[in-house]
Amino acid sequence: MKPKLLAMLFSIPFISLTSPGALAADSPDYAAILQSAYQKFKNDNRGKVADYIPALAAYSDKNYAIAIATVDGKLYTAGDTQKIFPLESLTKIFSLSIALNQHGADKVLNELGANSTGLPFNSGLAIELRPERPQNPLVNAGAISTVSFINAKNANDRWQQIIDNMNAYADAKLSINLDVYHSESVTNQHNQALSRLMMSYGRMYSNADEALDIYTKQCSVSATTEQLAKMGAVLANAGKSPFTGKQLLQQQYVPNVLSEMAIAGLYDGSGQWLYNVGVPAKSGVGGGMVAVVPGQYAIAVYSPPLDKAGNSVRAQEAISYVAHATKANLYDSH
């Protein structure tokens, strides 16, 4: 057979498999799925807005927004995706990312851990149960410890690294809600106790009071739902922002962040979430939640009313709906 003819024959199936039309037909209709998720849960007002940080109680239980950010840099939004809210525990995944870039996966595992506690996010008992071992960087104790584990010249440098990193993920200059920061600073006796307990077990890696203060400030960093989706998209896209092209987390550490999210992102709700939905996710008591589908997209939802574990009720419903509709469950072979 003539080489030209041979090449033609082999090129036919190759072309049809990779033509843009074929790929587009396979990709989910994100805009339609997101719209129906938004409508479906619009009137679901179960849950309670957090008030143990007094300033959070001021946020309306009506606030509701969904945003999807894909790895090819597309954004789909519904609801009030420009409303700004405190990220709270969502910030923990970004400080963990700094710790991984600086120290690598083994040190993070040894010093911060990857055990699900099965207990509430601010549990002191979880520390006592395994004082010789770290827990994980997403419960409060582990997150304060993570802040202390970031290499920094001084407090200002530590804070600057944290905020610069989150700004880079969000592709924006994020704001700090000083009301929320002060409100939490004067009511965080429980976190003070956790950080002291962690210190007594050698799990604080720089000054404990300074780390707690920076952690508290970190939790008050605020973003829109759209910005949160863009932050999550970095993790969906192998550590590189699809919006700026910047590599923010070394690719090799992305699975470490996502596995910590899988085991502890929703605290004592994590197991049930993974069982039902099968995608790593993280919540915050401000009502935000982000889930990451590696290689595809991140979805962020904002809705303040929370369940007993401190996770937004409507965010879990909406993300679960979108994950099913896009066949995102990582444990499902199709």
> Is 227 a residue that touches ligand DON (CB under 6 A)?
no
Pairing of strands 297-302, 281-283: unpaired
Residue closer to ligand DON by CB (options 30, 94) is 94
> Is 284 a residue that touches ligand DON (CB under 6 A)?
yes
Residue from the set 264, 285, 319, 328 that interacts with ligand DON by CB under 6 A: 285
Residue closer to ligand DON by CB (options 35, 185) is 185
- Count of residues binding ligand DON (CB under 6 A)? 13
Binding to ligand DON by CB under 6 A, coded x per residue (else -) over 295-334, reads ---------------xx-----------------------
Residue closer to ligand DON by CB (options 177, 241) is 177
Residue closer to ligand DON by CB (options 77, 91) is 91
Give the range of 9-17, 24-32, 257-265, 283-291 binding ligand DON by CB under 6 A: 283-291
Which residues, in sequence order, are bridge partners of residue 289?
Answer: 283, 301
Residue from the set 135, 140, 161, 296 that interacts with ligand DON by CB under 6 A: 140
Pairing of strands 85-86, 221-223: antiparallel
Residue nearest to ligand DON (CB): 89
> Is 59 a residue that touches ligand DON (CB under 6 A)?
no
Catalogue the long-range contacts made by 4-8 (C-beta closer than 8 Å, 24 or more residues apart): none
Helices (H), 177-312: 178-185, 189-200, 208-219, 225-236, 254-264, 270-276
Q: Within 13 Å, how many C-alpha atoms sit on residue 115's CB side? A: 17
> Is 191 a residue that touches ligand DON (CB under 6 A)?
yes
Residue closer to ligand DON by CB (options 34, 163) is 163
Residue from the set 30, 38, 59, 121 that interacts with ligand DON by CB under 6 A: 121
Please name the residues in contact with 322: beta carbons below 8 A apart, sequence gap of 6 or more.
Answer: 33, 34, 37, 66, 68, 299, 328
Amino acid 97 reads: S
> Is 264 a residue that touches ligand DON (CB under 6 A)?
no
Which residues, in sequence order, are bridge partners of residue 221?
Answer: 176
> Is 183 a residue that touches ligand DON (CB under 6 A)?
no
Q: How far apart are CA 66 and CA 76, in angstroms?
A: 8
Please state the three-class secondary structure of 30-85 as a single string: HHHHHHHHHHHCCCCCCCECCCCCHHHHHCCCCCCEEEEEECCCCEEEEECCCCCE
What is the distance of C-alpha 165 from the center of its chain? 14
> Any idea which residue has 């994590």 for tokens?
270
Residue closer to ligand DON by CB (options 311, 326) is 311
Question: Distances from the Cα of 184 to the Cαs of 79, 140, 303, in angstroms?
Answer: 28, 13, 20
Q: How far is the CB of 15 from ligand DON (least distance, A)?
A: 49
Give the range of 74-82, 202-210, 231-239, 277-285 binding ligand DON by CB under 6 A: 277-285
Binding site for ligand DON (CB under 6 A): 88-89, 121-122, 140, 184, 191, 219, 283-285, 310-311
